[in-house]
């Protein structure tokens, strides 16, 4: 099988100081975002009910179209810098971020609570407890993918130290396997069991099967959450991992954590990172937080689906179903005066 030579097969050190993946918001961009916020809020206070037309970005929308093209057919990631979060409330920041998301796709649920905007911060949860999502802790979260076309993070406040966003090209990892362990490549296209972490529907099995890699529209796509795969083995009915599957998982992890492959981003307030989930693995290093609650690390997250995207597995584009209690609460909220 030939080495893949596509724009998303990058190596971190080679592009670390290349600013082509960075866009700095101009004063005009920021003014346009503020104007869109005022117009949308005048029509509907609840931003969850906005449509793309409610949040007009006549100039910036053209730029966002370029961002989508870069995510879909280019490197698969970008960093937007310069939004003045200190001049806005958290509610305004969330609303503006939601408005940008409307021009990039459709938000889907990130958990059984039905969250369409996730709050990435330490809740004091035990990272070793089964079912605890690691984004709710300060612990390291190793390389993985999520469950949407586009994964977005918006930094409101960084950590006191640590909490580095580290990304790596899944295509570059695949190429390295082709070079060093071609015998493992076919294994990536076999079904692997993934634990649901308690996020499955009542009566459904607590694991599902999907291959780590597949090709769509001539591009490699990867879905990889190694601890979900390993934790699936706790269920008696789950297919046992073969020695080759275990080797393949370890190879991906070790290659992703090799400094020759990954790229680091130290988030600053106002930074927005967007990743193409199917071609970029992401990681968060352990961090030390501030004692002052008003200074603690806080990021917002969007999971977006874009219908025209050459995305990954279709089953990963629906989000995590909200439980019945959450659904009922949403109905009550929608019916309020």
Question: What pLDDT is stored for residue 116 in this prediction?
Answer: 94
Instruction: Supply the pLDDT for residue 329.
Output: 40
- Smallest CA-to-CA distance from 169 within 272, 320, 21, 2 is with 21
What one-character DSSP code corresponds to residue 103? T
* pLDDT tens series, the chain, 337 aa: 789 999 999 999 999 999 999 999 999 999 999 999 999 999 999 999 999 999 999 999 999 999 999 999 999 999 999 999 999 999 999 999 999 999 999 999 998 788 999 999 988 887 777 777 777 888 899 999 998 999 999 999 999 999 999 999 999 999 999 999 999 999 999 999 999 887 777 778 999 999 999 998 889 999 999 999 999 999 999 999 999 999 999 999 999 999 999 999 999 999 999 999 999 999 999 999 999 999 999 999 999 999 888 666 677 787 887 775 544 444 333 333 3
Distance, in Å, from the CA atom of 110 to the CA atom of 112, rounded to the nearest integer, reads 7
The H-assigned helical ranges of the chain are: 12-15, 27-43, 60-73, 90-102, 170-180, 226-231, 243-256, 324-334
Burial category of 277 from C-beta neighbours within 10 Å (exposed 0-12, middle 13-18, buried 19 and up) = buried
Q: Which domains does the chain have, with CATH numbers?
A: 12-319 (3.60.130.10)
Secondary structure of 275-313 in the HEC alphabet? EECCCEEEEECCEECCCCHHHCCEEEEEEEECCCCCCCC
Quote the tokens at residue 95. Answer: 């609303």
Lookup: tokens for 62: 């053209």
Task: Tell me what pLDDT residue 312 has.
Answer: 63
DSSP per-residue letters across 159-188: -SEE--EEEEEHHHHHHHHHHH-GGGGGGG
Neighbours of 5 (CB within 10 A): 8
How far, in Å, CA of 116 to CA of 114, rounded?
Answer: 6
Instruction: Confirm if 210 and 47 have CB atoms less than 8 A apart.
Output: no
Task: Provide the pLDDT for residue 337.
Answer: 31
Element (H, E) at 222: strand 219-222
How much is the pTM? Answer: 0.91
Per the CB < 8 A criterion, the answer to whether 317 and 200 are in contact is no
- From residue 100, give the alpha-carbon distance in Å to each of 79, 154, 255, 261, 276: 14, 11, 34, 30, 16
What's the CA gap between 2 and 131, in Å, rounded? 39
Residue 180's contacts (CB-CB under 8 Å, 6 or more residues apart) are none
Under a CB-based contact definition with an 8 Å cutoff, are residues 83 and 30 in contact? yes
Q: Report d(CA 187, CA 247) in Å as an integer.
A: 10
Closest CA to 63 of 7, 107, 24: 24
- Contact partners, residue 55, CB within 8 Å, separation at least 6: 36, 37, 39, 40, 98, 99, 102, 103
For residue 168, what pLDDT is reported?
98
């Amino acid at each position: 099988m030939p080495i893949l030579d596509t724009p998303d097969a990058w190596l971190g050190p080679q592009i670390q100081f290349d600013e082509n993946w960075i866009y700095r918001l101009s004063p005009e961009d920021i003014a346009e975002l503020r104007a869109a916020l005022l117009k949308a809020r005048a029509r509907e206070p609840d931003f969850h009910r906005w449509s793309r037309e409610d949040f007009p970005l006549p100039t910036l929308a053209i730029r966002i179209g370029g961002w989508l093209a870069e995510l879909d057919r280019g490197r698969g990631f970008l960093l937007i810098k310069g939004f003045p979060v200190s001049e806005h409330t958290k509610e305004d920041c969330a609303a503006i971020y939601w408005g940008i998301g409307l021009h990039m796709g459709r938000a889907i649920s990130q958990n059984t609570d039905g969250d369409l905007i996730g709050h990435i911060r330490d809740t004091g949860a035990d990272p070793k407890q089964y079912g605890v999502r690691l984004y709710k802790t300060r612990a390291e979260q190793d390389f993985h993918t999520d469950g949407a076309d586009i994964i977005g993070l918006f930094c409101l406040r960084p950590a006191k130290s640590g909490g580095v966003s580290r990304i790596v090209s899944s295509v570059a990892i695949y190429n390295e396997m082709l070079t060093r362990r071609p015998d493992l490549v076919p294994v990536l296209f076999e079904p692997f069991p993934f634990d649901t972490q308690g996020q499955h529907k009542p009566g459904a099995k607590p694991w599902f099967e999907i291959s780590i890699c597949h090709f769509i529209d001539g591009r490699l796509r990867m879905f990889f959450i190694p601890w979900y795969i390993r934790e699936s083995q706790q269920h008696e009915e789950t297919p046992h991992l073969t020695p080759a599957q275990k080797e393949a998982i370890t190879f991906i992890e070790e290659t992703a954590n090799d400094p020759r492959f990954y790229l680091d981003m130290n988030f600053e307030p106002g930074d927005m990172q967007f990743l193409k989930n199917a071609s970029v693995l992401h990681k968060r290093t352990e961090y030390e937080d501030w004692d002052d609650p008003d200074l603690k690390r806080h990021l917002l997250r969007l999971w977006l689906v874009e219908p025209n995207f050459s995305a990954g597995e279709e089953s990963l584009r629906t989000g995590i179903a909200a439980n019945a209690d959450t659904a009922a609460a949403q109905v009550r909220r929608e019916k309020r005066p």
